[in-house]
Amino acid sequence: MSTKLLSRIEILRALESLAGELSPESPVEIIVGGGAALVLLYNAREATKDVDALALMAVEPAAVRAAAVRVAESAGLPEDWLNEGAKGYLHGLVPGEVLFEKLSLTVRAVAPQQLLAMKLSAWRDDIDIADARLLLSKLTGTNEQVWRSVEPYLVPGRELKARYAFDDLWEVENGPS
């Protein structure tokens, strides 16, 4: 993975360039998660290390990957700026808001409840915790209602870890349930 951080503006420029590399006759839809979705949806932080493409709906995925490499070369981005690195945290798929749209390319975020499930399943560092806190603030309902909306998207085998993380986060944000 790359070490250069991508700002909101750099991500949008890269997506604009990617759209220019793709044909409107064969439109592509990409569903993103992780830091890029949070940066684009909520300005959650200044930048992210990459754009996690969790789903790529394209006639020729290899052509999209090749276009992403051309964008990286021309824009001075790391070759892996668009990648499937977070796919391991994806269980099911609930497309959310459109983040970018041109004739040749539509980019959507994963729905907030699924983004939260991904962050709870990963729960690696302060960034995951801050992201989860922000996502929790975007979901409404009681502790159990929110948990039930997130639970179907947890990575199998990480449910217990995610539940403890969720309960701790809920208590800090909302008080004991």
Q: Is the pLDDT of residue 127 over 50?
A: yes
Mean per-residue pLDDT of the chain: 92
pLDDT, tens digit (0-9, with 9 covering 90-100), for 78-103 = 999 999 888 888 888 999 999 999 99
pLDDT, tens digit (0-9, with 9 covering 90-100), for 31-78 = 999 899 999 999 888 889 999 998 888 888 899 999 999 999 999 999
Closest CA to 45 of 140, 130, 156: 130
What pLDDT sits at residue 88?
85
Contacts of 157 (CB under 8 A, 6+ apart): none
What pLDDT sits at residue 140?
95
What pLDDT sits at residue 3?
63
Q: Confidence band (pLDDT; 50, 70, 90) for 2?
A: very low
CA–CA gap between residue 99 and residue 108 (Å, rounded): 5
What is the H or E stretch that residue 48 is in? strand 47-48
What pLDDT sits at residue 125?
85
Q: CA angle 109-132-46, nearest 5°?
A: 65
**What percent of the chain clears pLDDT 70, i.e. is strictly above it?**
98
Burial letters for 91-122: b for 16+ Cβ neighbours within 10 Å, e otherwise? Answer: eeebbbeebbebebbbbbbbbbbbbbbbbbbb
152-157: average pLDDT:
95
9-20: average pLDDT:
97
Backbone dihedral angles phi then psi of residue 128, each to the nearest 5 degrees: -60, -40
Collapsing DSSP to helix, strand or coil, 6 comes out as strand
